[in-house]
Amino acid sequence: MIDALFGSKTRVKLLHLFLNNPGKAFYVREITRLIDEQINSVRRELSNMMTVGIVTSDTADNKLYYEVNQRYEHYVPLRAIFADQQVEAIDVGESAISWQDMISGLPGTRLAVTAGVLVRGSTSSVDILLVGETPVPKVKKMMKDIEKIEGRELNYSILSYDEFYYRLSVRDKFITEILNGKHAVLLDTDNMLK
């Protein structure tokens, strides 16, 4: 049934392969062995998928490698369809907690802004901006959990309050690109952005 919906058995197998292996790159001959399809149909579908933007390519060791574009606009819904397992939230004790609550509850955080792939229509390269005296090891662990929930790698940045305030006051390009584009404020304890 999914073959009919997506138009090609090879395309369905490719989507299944890529969306179950985010962050992993494959070369053409490896792909043909893994999905047991003819090389010409694999090349044709990879070309179509690159045109759409769901797959990217890169050259290394004289081989052309393909991998899923985790920043593709429809990555999450496609992953929900093709991934072998779906992770909604991380279990913490007796109940599940959303990643938004994880960020808001992070000790020492005074400002938390989401953008990039986490906000529809955002073109920012940064997905999460944290401001405050946040313990880096806790942030790293939390980001791994959030990446598990989202099913993709995320770009994040941590700034001290003083550095953020200075950059905001001099209209630093990094900060203004995030705040002038589409974004969502999860936490702003000091009303810095009002």
Q: Is the domain of 166 the same as that of 137?
A: yes
Q: Model pTM?
A: 0.63
Q: Is the domain of 94 the same as that of 76?
A: no
Which pLDDT tens digit goes with each residue over 131-174?
999 888 989 999 998 888 787 888 999 999 999 999 999 999 99
- pLDDT band for 5, please (50, 70, 90 cuts): low
- pLDDT band for 129, please (50, 70, 90 cuts): very high
Q: Is the domain of 73 the same as that of 95?
A: no
Q: What's the structural domain count of the chain?
A: 2
Q: Is the domain of 100 the same as that of 148?
A: yes
| In a domain? residue 193 | no
Which pLDDT tens digit goes with each residue over 61-112?
888 999 998 888 888 788 878 877 554 444 444 345 678 888 888 889 999 9
Measured CA to CA, the distance from residue 110 to residue 102 in angstroms comes to: 14
Mean pLDDT of 115-131: 89
Which pLDDT tens digit goes with each residue over 108-119?
999 999 998 888
Q: Is the domain of 51 the same as that of 17?
A: yes
Q: Is the domain of 144 the same as that of 67?
A: no
Residue that finishes a domain, picked among 48, 82, 116: 82
Least confident of 13-27, 73-87, 176-190: 73-87
CA trace torsion 152, 146, 119, 176 (10° rounding): -100
| In a domain? residue 194 | no
Q: What is the pLDDT of residue 2?
A: 60
Q: Is the domain of 130 the same as that of 173?
A: yes
Q: Is the domain of 41 the same as that of 114?
A: no
